[in-house]
Amino acid sequence: MRFAGRTVGWSAGLTAVLCAVVTVSAGIGPVWIPPGAVAKVLLNAVAVPTGVSLSGLALDVSTTRLFAYPVTDLQTQIVMKVRLPRILLGAVVGFSLAAAGTIMQGIFRNPMADPSIIGVSSGAAVGAVGYIVAPVAIPLGLGLRGAAFAGAILAAFGVYLIATRNGETPVATLLLAGVAVQTFLGAVVSFLLLQSGESIRQALFWLMGHLKGASWPEVASSVLLVAVPFVVLLAYARDLNVMLLGEEDAQSLGIEVERTKRVLLALSSVVTAAGVAVAGIIGFVGLIVPHVMRLLVGPDHRILLPTAALAGASFLVATDTLARSGSAEVPVGIVTAALGAPFFLYLLRKREVREL
């Protein structure tokens, strides 16, 4: 009970931090809106369903807004139409990268693993740059995002297949297969960039990772893609703890190791791909955030997974605010790496990581 309380406490605290970061971030931009006003705009937008009616084939849900604070139309427009989609998308991407990073570090029993270790990001890069260079019609209007997502999943699945023999996937093989496939896909991306001509700028911008041009439908689809696997991952948190003892021990403690690894790899790949597909390659969030949270809350994944995910959301929203608040916008991937790498080196020197 004490433990469950700790999990809830930390999660609630970090959710509050996330709300605060979102509120402040939505006020920052060419037009400054004070946090109080942003909060009022956000509260005005809260609606609860009050009734359902069937008209023809469409299901009509009538909603009632709970609050009606006096705010200007301009403020509402800026917050709701311009800034909030991007901020929420940043939150979802940060959430997904940190969650997937936590899982990967657990599977690989290595605090230096990151979400793209099995080739997800490189696969997404090939998909995205390939689409930019030679756009093909992808149904459902998925376009760039769809190509990136498909590339990510294919790469992860390919690495998994390469590393699997007789139904067993040793993590060392998985790691090395991931490195090799990433190198190969990196070469493919370089080749595609050479062929990109006019669109090289767009391709490079994607590769650097950014959240520009986010829209509400994108937010909705990525929330869905991240939320469902994340709930399942939470249910596997204890299994992941036991896996940290080593696969041999985990098996003798009743964990079906290979099946668990498959589930965890598949779900965390989907979560990572959902993030990378909309935001491009954003480094260090999935590496640093789980690492720092492990120092704060300990290695138990039942508390580490939700808290790392929430902290990742806040971290990316904050860094993206920094990225877009300068005179010229910088891709957020540059900001996370520029902040994250020195901090990581500081940790490395301080904690002296002796074992990998």
Partner 1 sequence: MSGAGDDADPAPDRRGPMLDVADLSVTFGDQRVLSGVDFDVERGTLVGLVGPNGAGKTTVLRTVKGTLEPDGGTVRVDGEPVADRSAKAVGRLVASTPQGTDLSFDFTVRQTVEMGRTPHLGRFDRMGECDHTAVETAMERASVDRFADRPFTSLSGGERQRVLLARALAQETPVLLLDEPTANLDINHAVRTLELVRSLVADGKTAVAAIHDLNLAARYCDELVLLADGAVRAAGRPSDVLTSDTLRDAFDAETLVTTQPGTDAPLVTPLAEREAVDRQVHVVGTGAPAADALASLVGADCRVSVGVVPAGDAAAERAADLDCEAVTVPAFAGVDDTARERAVALARAADAVVVAGAVGDGNAPVVEAGRVRLGVETDGRDGPDDAPSGLVGDTVPLAALPAAVATLPPPVETDAAAPLGQSSTD
How far apart are CB 264 and partner 1 at their closest, in Å? 13
How far apart are CB 310 and partner 1 at their closest, in Å? 20
State phi, psi for 54 to the nearest 5 degrees: -105, 115
How far apart are CB 250 and partner 1 at their closest, in Å? 8
Q: What angle do CA 214, 220, 224 make, to 5 degrees?
A: 130
How far apart are CB 77 and partner 1 at their closest, in Å? 45
Cβ-based neighbours of 142, under 8 Å, separated by 6 or more: 149
State phi, psi for 50 to the nearest 5 degrees: -120, -20
Torsion of the alpha carbons at 98, 103, 108 and 109, rounded to the nearest 10: 90
How far apart are CB 252 and partner 1 at their closest, in Å? 5
Cα 335 to Cα 324: distance, rounded to the nearest angstrom = 10
Long-range pairs for 211-218: beta carbons < 8 A, 24 or more residues apart: 211/86, 211/89, 211/90, 211/93, 211/278, 211/279, 211/320, 211/332, 212/86, 212/324, 212/329, 214/85, 214/86, 214/88, 214/89, 214/90, 214/278, 215/85, 216/85, 218/85, 218/89, 218/145, 218/278
Which residue, 73 or 355, is less far from partner 1 as judged by CB? 355
Which residue, 19 or 348, is less far from partner 1 as judged by CB? 348
Which residue, 111 or 331, is less far from partner 1 as judged by CB? 111
| DSSP code at position 109 | T
Cα–Cα nearest to 181, from 161, 195, 209, 167: 161
Cα 187 to Cα 334: distance, rounded to the nearest angstrom = 21
How far apart are CB 176 and partner 1 at their closest, in Å? 19
Cα 79 to Cα 234: distance, rounded to the nearest angstrom = 32
How far apart are CB 2 and partner 1 at their closest, in Å? 11
Binding site for partner 1 (CB under 8 A): 4, 109-111, 235-236, 238-239, 241-242, 244-246, 248-249, 251-257, 294, 298-300, 355-356
